[in-house]
Amino acid sequence: MTEDTADRVTGGFNEARRVADALLFEGYVLYPYRASARKNQLRWQFGVLVPPSWQDAQGEHTEQRTECLLEPRRADRLLAELRFLQVRRRTVECPSRDGEGWSEVPELELADRVLVPWDEGGEERIECEVPLDRLAGEGHTVRFDRPGGVEHEPVHDGAGHVVGRLVRRSRPLAGEILLATEPLPGPYGALRLTATVRNVSGWAPDRRESADREAALPHSLIGAHLLLGLPGGRFLSMTDPPEWAKPAARTCRNEHTWPVLACGEGRDDVLLSSPIILEDHPSVAAESPGPLYDATEIDEILSLRTAALTDREKREARGTDARAAEVIDLVDGMPAEVMERLHGAIRGLREVTGEVGGGVGGDVGSDSTGEPWRQPVPDPDPDRGAAAPSAGLRLPTGPGLPWWDPAQDAMSAPGQDTVSVDGQLLGVGSRVVLRPGLRRSDAQDIFLAGRTATVEAVLQDFDGETHIAVTVDGDPGIDVRRQQGRFLYFRPDEVDPADAPAPEPEGGA
């Protein structure tokens, strides 16, 4: 291992943190970004590791376990970084009427914000660097603790007078990271790495707190995730490992987290283990102007609705949390060209049309996050139209017309095709058994493994790929799905024909 490889991994950690930040703060504060909103009453859903006593009482998780495969090659050490949030419970106080002390209040209204009680999340990092030879056998344990405490922040009005204060209370918490390796059989010199993150805080709820999750959260690790680096070596993809490593990859046990290769395509020396399932080499969309903390919403709609909040609502959002205030300022100051690119992007067509970035050309600037954006300029040939995404398809051109017109595409009519699976033709009405593939499936698909379904259509996309649209047997919403055309889609290699007659090809035998 050289300093160059170590610096490369350190730079990779910096790059991976951009994605990791989206995980760490996902759901931190939801639209409409006010503490009083019902959506913000139940928080902290991802990567929460509670104290052992709370796990015993309520069944939430105390630890997360990552198992992955690596090839040491020239590497002689492993870098690890655990990131999580520690809850800081904030209250608002004003001077007592007698002037002798402070009294807690439900809100403090200022000219630019309305301060209210709120649970803030402070980012914590536990970093370690361990020689690989120390991970063999029982492995190496890194223990850490974070003390509790009380902080006071004075609040001033526009004239500079102290009109209140914020009181932040944090509770002590403790944890450990256990890192261990074992060699894989065979001549490849590969290792299986197990990384276990565990909350070992000694807090125990009293009778009043035994069913109160809010009491356990200050003693919990929130949004916990791991960054792992191997200077001079490489991690293997868990979804697309080399052929020789597939049997070992299938036996890896990951609990409450999932490891993916981080950084750009071609990088394999940095791994991100996340409580939210990702694909290898995840990245933040270039169109994203900044964090909005609410991935259940579409960025464009979220930005427009945030911009439409009343002044009072925006003041309360600014007083709820500094990150909520940043969202309000981001949306209020968003340039029109940045808002326009939130409308969406068809990335697959860029290879065909030759389009780069967000426009035909223009000057490159930056948005509020420092990310580059391209100022659109008029197309010198506006009548040329976009290049067709598939041979033989002529697309309409001109203002106000869609990029694709189904009326011009004779291949777009659904439900008229069949596909052969294991020598049997499948089409509308066929019965199938769902066998989701490990590479292309998300958690929702995997939940359906082994269920029977009915084929509603066999479709082809512009890339020539075949997709089978199905409804799952026993789904009480089948009628609604059929009425709206909202089906579930699987590839031919993700279904098995059920014991039912195959449909006749269109036109008869």
DSSP string, 374-405: E-----S-TTS-PPPSSTTPPPP-STT--S--
Query: Based on C-alpha coordinates, what's the Rg of the chain?
Result: 27
Question: Are the C-beta atoms of residues 46 and 23 closer than 8 Å to each other?
Answer: yes
Measured distance CA(438)–CA(13) in Å, rounded: 27
Positive or negative CA dihedral for 67, 220, 167, 144? negative
Measured distance CA(207)–CA(301) in Å, rounded: 44
Question: Are the C-beta atoms of residues 89 and 167 closer than 8 Å to each other?
Answer: no
Residue with tokens 């259940």, as numbered in its chain: 296
Measured distance CA(470)–CA(495) in Å, rounded: 10
The token pair that represents 58 in the structure block:
């309520």
Give, for all 509 residues of the chain, the pLDDT tens digit. 566 788 899 899 999 999 988 888 888 998 899 999 988 988 888 899 999 988 876 778 999 999 999 999 999 999 999 999 999 999 999 999 887 899 999 999 999 999 999 999 999 999 999 999 999 989 999 999 999 999 999 999 989 999 999 999 999 999 999 999 999 998 999 999 999 999 999 998 888 877 788 999 999 999 999 999 999 999 999 999 999 999 999 999 999 999 999 998 999 999 999 999 899 999 888 888 788 888 767 788 888 889 999 999 999 999 999 999 999 999 998 888 888 877 776 665 555 555 554 433 333 333 333 333 333 334 444 444 444 344 444 444 554 444 445 555 555 544 458 899 998 999 999 999 999 876 665 667 778 889 999 999 999 887 788 999 999 999 988 988 888 888 999 999 999 999 755 444 444 43
DSSP string, 421-480: ETTEEE-TT-EEEE---TTT--HHHHTTTT-EEEEEEEEE-TTS-EEEEEEETT-TTHHH
DSSP category for residue 359: B
pTM of the model: 0.71
